[in-house]
């Protein structure tokens, strides 16, 4: 079974507001909510604050882990690797 649970990159991201160290931030230009792993202390406050459950604790690295829309790739990895072909990437007018 496959289930996509991506970050919604909220306009008012509770995870960013709750981050104790400023590791989570919203890029003003792209609107992407991302994690600076150098600043993340693994307190999981952002995990508890996200109303969508889109942030996961990476217990091996002791860092928060979340979708960053694979800004460094042409298409997000979830779209490219979706086993059902159910995910698409593109611009919307919404």
Q: Give the mean model confidence (pLDDT) for residues 29-33.
A: 92
42 inside domain: yes
Question: Any residues with CB less than 8 A from the CB of 52 and at least 6 apart, and which?
Answer: 5, 7, 8
Domain containing residue 50: CATH number: 3.30.70.20
Does 88 map to a domain? no
Domain that holds residue 70: 14-81
Could you give the number of structural domains in the chain?
Answer: 1
Mean pLDDT over residues 58-78, rounded?
91
How does the average pLDDT of the chain come out, rounded? 90
Q: pTM for this one?
A: 0.80
Q: Would residue 34 count as lying in a domain?
A: yes
pLDDT of residue 2: 60
Both structure tokens of 21: 């160290």
Please state, as a whole number, how many other Cβ atoms lie within 10 Å of the Cβ of residue 14: 15
Report yes or no: 16 and 45 within 8 Å, Cβ to Cβ: no
* Mean pLDDT of all residues in 69-84: 88
């Amino acid at each position: 079974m496959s289930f996509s649970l991506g970050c919604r990159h909220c306009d008012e991201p509770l995870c960013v507001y709750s981050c104790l160290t400023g590791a989570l931030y919203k890029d003003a230009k792209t609107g992407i909510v991302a994690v600076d792993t150098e600043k993340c202390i693994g307190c999981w406050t952002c995990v508890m604050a996200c109303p969508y459950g889109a942030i996961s604790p990476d217990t091996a690295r002791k860092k928060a882990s979340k979708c960053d829309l694979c800004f460094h790739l042409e298409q997000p990895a979830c779209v490219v690797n979706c086993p059902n072909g159910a995910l698409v990437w593109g611009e919307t007018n919404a």
